[in-house]
Amino acid sequence: MAEASATKRPPATGEGRDRPIRVMVVDDSQLMRWLLTRWIGEAPGLELAGMASSGQEALATIARRRPDIVLLDLEMPDIGGLEVLPKLIKACPSAKVLVVSALSKAAAGIALDALAMGAKDYIGKPDASVKSWGGQDFRIALLKRIEALCRPAEFPAPRSMPVSRPERMAVMPGLAANPPTNVVRHPFSMVVPRVIGVGSSTGGPEALLRFLPSLVSAIRRAPVLIAQHMPAEFTRALAIRLSAATGLPSKEGEDGEEIRAGQIYLAPGDRHMTLVSSPNPVIAISDAPPVRYYRPSVDLLFESLVQVYGPAVLGVILTGMGADGAEGAGAIARTGGSVIVQDQASSVVWGMPGAAANAGYAAAIGNPEHLAEIAAGLFEMERP
């Protein structure tokens, strides 16, 4: 069924791929295996590489089946997901692992551990109700993640916010030169940042843990506000990890909370976080509808920072699928602020940073550690 369905129409191609994406399902739930294999069989461009009902079975077959992606449950009876994950990666290094597991506050830390151990992304199973399993939201989100991880796309510049006059980016004194790239660069701001806004999605937790610890001295001078696309159950666990990694206070932002330098504020999962001035900058948390499919919205966060801080905004876009943040990056760039984005080589998915870079809004492109070096340099530069 799966192999036949893959020939319904030619699969999308990307990075030279001219064959279906081979998907392996590892889950002890018979219902879950049935649903996932059915959806894989019905999806053009996908084919079933195999199924396993236990970690042992997955380890015994993955090298022979050679999947492009493994859908891995973390709760299994013989070998737990965290134990089997590195073994699967070792047995088939080319396969990407997408964690498909129940979401809860207790499971959030385990899922973040899985990302640290090499899983590329995670998606939560619906609850056990018949209505949720029969709905389409989970299926659509799952297939989008598979496509994004295995066929990363390049995103065009946002049409509603055209790029201003292209300029060559001058390498600023004390900053390392950027990796070569053929995208147009926007100049750095001539204003020392007073706030750092960060947007991230797929692969974002690990990118944040690579970026923020090297930026502690700068964060002591300016608050950090982060919009990371993730479920509500995860953001508190991520905030705890960011605090441990940086030694700085890190927490979910609260409505009406006045922001302070030296602190990291994370948008609560599935809620918008923006900044308002009344008269001092305070956080606003909202359950308003998603903006361009996303909540929290990086675009909304960045645009609100511009309203409060003008050109003294440093916008950072890390790995993630989609194009959220590109519109907000345009607002920062046109107002005279600085935007730096993660490069394609170090991104799990070069969607969000690629959209901003291709629009011409980025002053620098690099891996998270390089971006931290550049950001720290912006705080040390003497301005006229």
Closest CA to 86 of 103, 101, 70: 70
Closest CA to 37 of 55, 18, 54, 50: 50
Q: What is the mean pLDDT of residues 210-220?
A: 96
Q: What is the Cα–Cα distance from 356 to 204, expressed in whole angstroms?
A: 16
- The residues annotated with a catalytic role in the active site are 201, 229, 324
Q: Which CATH number goes with the domain that contains 54?
A: 3.40.50.2300
Do 199 and 146 reside in the same domain of the chain? no
Contact 361, 336 (CB under 8 A): no
Which residue would you say has higher pLDDT here, 7 or 190? Answer: 190
- Strands, E, within 160-240: which ranges? 195-200, 224-228
What predicted TM-score, i.e. pTM, was given to this entire model?
0.86
Q: Tell me whether residue 205 is in a domain.
A: yes
Q: Tell me whether residue 158 is in a domain.
A: no
Sheet containing 364-366: order of strands: 250-252, 264-266, 224-228, 195-200, 313-317, 338-342, 364-366
pLDDT tens digits, one per residue of 99-117: 998 867 667 888 899 999 9
Q: What is the Cα–Cα distance from 12 to 28, expressed in whole angstroms?
A: 31
Q: Tell me whether residue 187 is in a domain.
A: no
Do 308 and 234 reside in the same domain of the chain? yes
How close are the terminal C-alpha atoms of the chain, in Å?
67
Q: What is the Cα–Cα distance from 126 to 123, expressed in whole angstroms?
A: 9
Range of the domain at 13: 2-150
Q: Which CATH number goes with the domain that contains 261?
A: 3.40.50.180
Q: H or E stretch including 49? A: strand 46-52
Q: How confident is the model at residue 356 (pLDDT cuts 50, 70, 90)?
A: very high
Q: What is the mean pLDDT of residues 297-309?
A: 98
Do 121 and 243 reside in the same domain of the chain? no
Listed range (118-122, 124-128, 287-291, 370-374) with the worst mean pLDDT? 124-128
Is the model's pLDDT at 149 over the cut of 90?
A: yes
Q: Tell me whether residue 366 is in a domain.
A: yes
Do 352 and 250 reside in the same domain of the chain? yes
- Our count of domains for the chain comes to 2
Do 228 and 320 reside in the same domain of the chain? yes
